Amino acid sequence: MSVLSGHCEDELCLNQSNHISIRVFPCLYHCKKMLCIKHLSEHDKYIDKQIQSQKQLEYLWKDYSLIFNEEKIQKEFQKLKTKLENYQQLSKEIRNLLLIKNFNESIENNQKLQTAIETVKKAIEQENQLEAMIGMLGYSK
Measuring CA to CA, which residue among 20, 35, 25 is closest to residue 4?
A: 25
CA-to-CA distance for 127 and 109, rounded, in angstroms?
A: 27
DSSP string, 114-134: HHHHHHHHHHHHHHHHHHHHH
Query: Does residue 111 sit in helix, strand or coil?
Result: helix
Residues paired with residue 5 on neighbouring β-strands, in sequence order: 23
pLDDT single digits (tens) 8-23: 877 667 666 566 778 8
Q: Is the pTM of this model over 0.75?
A: no
Q: Check residue 55 and give its pLDDT.
A: 97
**Which sequence spans correspond to the domains of the chain?**
4-66, 71-137
DSSP type of residue 29: T
Instruction: Identify the pLDDT of residue 141.
Output: 46
CB of 35 closer than 8 Å to CB of 8 = yes
In the prediction, which pLDDT does 139 show? 56
The stretches in the chain having pLDDT less than 70 are 1-5, 11-12, 14-19, 138-141
Give the burial class of 8: count Cβ atoms within 10 A of its Cβ; 0-12 exposed, 13-18 middle, 19 or more buried.
buried
